[in-house]
Structure 1
Amino acid sequence: MDTAEILKRVRRLEIKTRGLSNHIFSGEYHSAFKGRGMSFSEVREYQFGDDIRSIDWNVTARFNHPFVKVFEEERELTLMLMVDVSESSVFGTSKQNKRNMITELCAVLAFSAINNNDKVGVIFFSDGVEKYIPPKKGKSHILFIIRELISFEPKRKGTNIKETLRFFNNATKKRSIVFLMSDFLTGSYQDALNIASKRHDMVGIHVYDQRDKELPSVGLIQMNDLETGERQWVDSSDKQVQQYYTQQFNQHVQYCRNSFKKSGADLISIRTDEDYVKALQNFFVNR
């Protein structure tokens, strides 16, 4: 894809997702995550009804009169987008592939964040961290992120969420809102997710294609694993094969749900041919 085409796609995506952010998501986004942290504001004299646990004993001793610490809700948040760019993310059989869906989701969330004067950063990952963009504010930064989402070419094919979460846990000390977007076709990541969820506000977005769940009945087909390169011939018209295929997918989804639930994090599932606007709205409203 040449530079001109990339810029056209950036502009089209900006118009679509910024409109959604301005008219639909900005308020919901902020309402869902506000109040996740408190920062020190000032010290004032003690008033009847104040919590004695908020008394500042150093200032009280200095003036021989009770003073309390006042905290206020942190207005500035940090949004981190963790984006799966492994080979399986380019799979798609309907309106768009998983990578394109994830790109739109990232753009909507990013514009929602800057509308609230928050910082936005990104981690691109495959079977390791491919690229880290530190959190910053501003429209130009968001447009840079969108360009990278559209044009980024990973060096590796696999998926390793555990190592990506470990990198994030070590690289980011300030509490952040984290959207982890992937089809989650990877090994166990429970321990790393537990640690990240204690430090940050974690939300997983499971993006999948209809054909990840259901085989089309078209007879003998060759199936390729995009990440390992493994190939296998399958009779897609065989009812037992179809049932086994769907069962494996359902078990995979249940594992994802259990992993996020155990860690105290949220998980949203969105199919590539579904309306992600409704899915995000429901999440923000019910959170």
Structure 2
Amino acid sequence: MSPPLDAQTTARADAVLSRLQLLVTRKLDGLLQGDYVGLLPGPGTEAGESREYRPGDDVRRMDWPVTARTTLPHVRQTVADRELETWLAVDLSASLDFGTAQHLKRDLVVAATTALAHLTVRGGNRIGAVVGTGSMLRRLPARPGKKEAQGLVRAIARTQVMPGRSDLGALVDMLNRPPRRRGVAVVISDFLAPTEQWERPVRKLGVRHDVLAIEVVDPRELELPDVGVLTLVDPESGALHEVQTSDPKLRRRYAEAAGVQRAAIAQALRGAGAAHLRLRTDSDWLLDMVRFVAAQRHARTRGTTR
């Protein structure tokens, strides 16, 4: 267990949560009107209506009786389960306590958790989480109900970030044990740990669940500003580094290395079969989430799920 937060930090976390919940409720209410299809529109289990086959449709959903009757290939649409279980793997490594724009990366983690809880907890759906910070791994059991979901988000927001980097692979693996019925699994992290540490657990998670990976990024992790000598602190080790940012070659090498790193992260997530949402500390995170959900739904109507 992490040590308790002081009263001032707790009060700040609660105030941030109150604003977040109001913002999320105002902007996301109505987004899931109509038949419930979940945050990630998956194949579901309940039979729905048939429609004509489109390129990209899963051939395992072919409706052969309708195809024979009409002489045109048809697929059977399905409706996602109405009681959905969503599990979050929330990475609160020390590297998340960083931000140079509108938010800290940690704030985006809490914001994304708040939005996911709002989108998920309805109709008896349950949401749970595993949280990692430093060497601490904590499980918050999945429970139904708005009040319980708010308690889960509050517990995550009040988690004190500990020194060191969490083992992201071990954190994700906590969602694989014990085996659960098919649902949605969400991994929220900056994914700065080596890909070989977490790629296999995410791939294993995708065998049973629909997986969403939310990558949290700060613009200074992608490129350095030209501000002369800059002293940088590694939040996980405390090591100090002085960097001469006025050197254009250094800034170019940094940007190229960051681009390679982010491309490797995206490729690993894609290879693991996870839907990938990137949230930046210098952009409207809620608008990015709304666009992502809309894109997922559009993909579903075109016969694909990712």
Q: Normalised by the size of structure 1, how large is the TM-score?
A: 0.81
Q: Which of residues 203, 210, 220 in structure 2 aligns to 1:211?
A: 220
Counterpart in 1 of 2:27? 20
CA distance in 2 between counterparts of 1:28 and 1:230 reads 52
Amino acid corresponding to residue 152 of structure 1 in structure 2: T
Gaps of 5+ in 1: 41-48, 52-70
SS at match of 2:141: strand
Q: Describe the shift of the 1:145–1:139 C-alpha distance in structure 2 as closer, same or farther (beyond 3 A).
A: same
Amino acid corresponding to residue 25 of structure 2 in structure 1: R
CA distance in 2 between counterparts of 1:220 and 1:72 reads 57
SS at match of 1:168: coil
2:166 aligned with 1:149, yes or no?
no
CA distance in 2 between counterparts of 1:283 and 1:170 reads 28
Gaps of 5+ in 2: 1-5, 48-64, 68-77, 297-306
Aligned-residue sequence identity (percent) comes to: 23
Normalized per residue, which structure has more helix? 1
Counterpart in 1 of 2:56? none
Counterpart in 1 of 2:249? 240
Shift, 1:112, TM fit = 1.1
Counterpart in 1 of 2:84? 77
Counterpart in 1 of 2:102? 95
Which deviates more, 19-28 or 101-110? 19-28
Are the counterparts in 1 of residues 97 and 105 from structure 2 also a CA contact under 8 Å?
yes
Shift, 1:73, TM fit = 4.8
SS at match of 1:115: coil
Amino acid corresponding to residue 256 of structure 1 in structure 2: I
CA distance in 2 between counterparts of 1:148 and 1:219 reads 40
SS at match of 2:138: strand
SS at match of 1:96: coil
Counterpart in 2 of 1:130? 137
SS at match of 1:205: strand
Q: Normalised by the size of structure 2, how large is the TM-score?
A: 0.77
5 Å-filtered alignment, 1:152-163, equals: 152-163=159-170
Which deviates more, 71-80 or 261-270? 71-80
Shift, 1:139, TM fit = 1.4
Are the counterparts in 2 of residues 122 and 133 from structure 1 also a CA contact under 8 Å?
yes
Counterpart in 2 of 1:9? 16
Q: Which has the larger radius of gyration?
A: 1
CA distance in 1 between counterparts of 2:114 and 2:272 reads 26
2:126 aligned with 1:114, yes or no?
no
CA distance in 2 between counterparts of 1:108 and 1:263 reads 24
CA distance in 2 between counterparts of 1:26 and 1:93 reads 36
Superposed CA RMSD: 2.7
Shift, 1:206, TM fit = 1.0
Which deviates more, 191-200 or 25-34? 25-34
Are the counterparts in 2 of residues 30 and 116 from structure 1 also a CA contact under 8 Å?
no
Are the counterparts in 1 of residues 134 and 161 from structure 2 also a CA contact under 8 Å?
no
Which deviates more, 243-252 or 126-135? 126-135
Between the two proteins, the alignment pairs up a number of residues equal to: 261
CA distance in 1 between counterparts of 2:177 and 2:211 reads 16
CA distance in 2 between counterparts of 1:235 and 1:93 reads 18
SS at match of 1:269: strand
Q: Which of residues 165, 168, 172 in structure 1 aligns to 2:175?
A: 168
Q: Which of residues 233, 238, 251 in structure 2 aligns to 1:229?
A: 238
Counterpart in 1 of 2:290? 281
SS at match of 1:18: helix
Amino acid corresponding to residue 270 of structure 2 in structure 1: K
Counterpart in 2 of 1:257? 266
Counterpart in 1 of 2:112? 105
Shift, 1:280, TM fit = 1.8
CA distance in 1 between counterparts of 2:293 and 2:35 reads 6
CA distance in 2 between counterparts of 1:4 and 1:31 reads 32
Amino acid corresponding to residue 261 of structure 2 in structure 1: H
Note the alpha carbon deviations across 1:121-151, whole angstroms, 9 max, x for none.
1111135552111111111112212211221
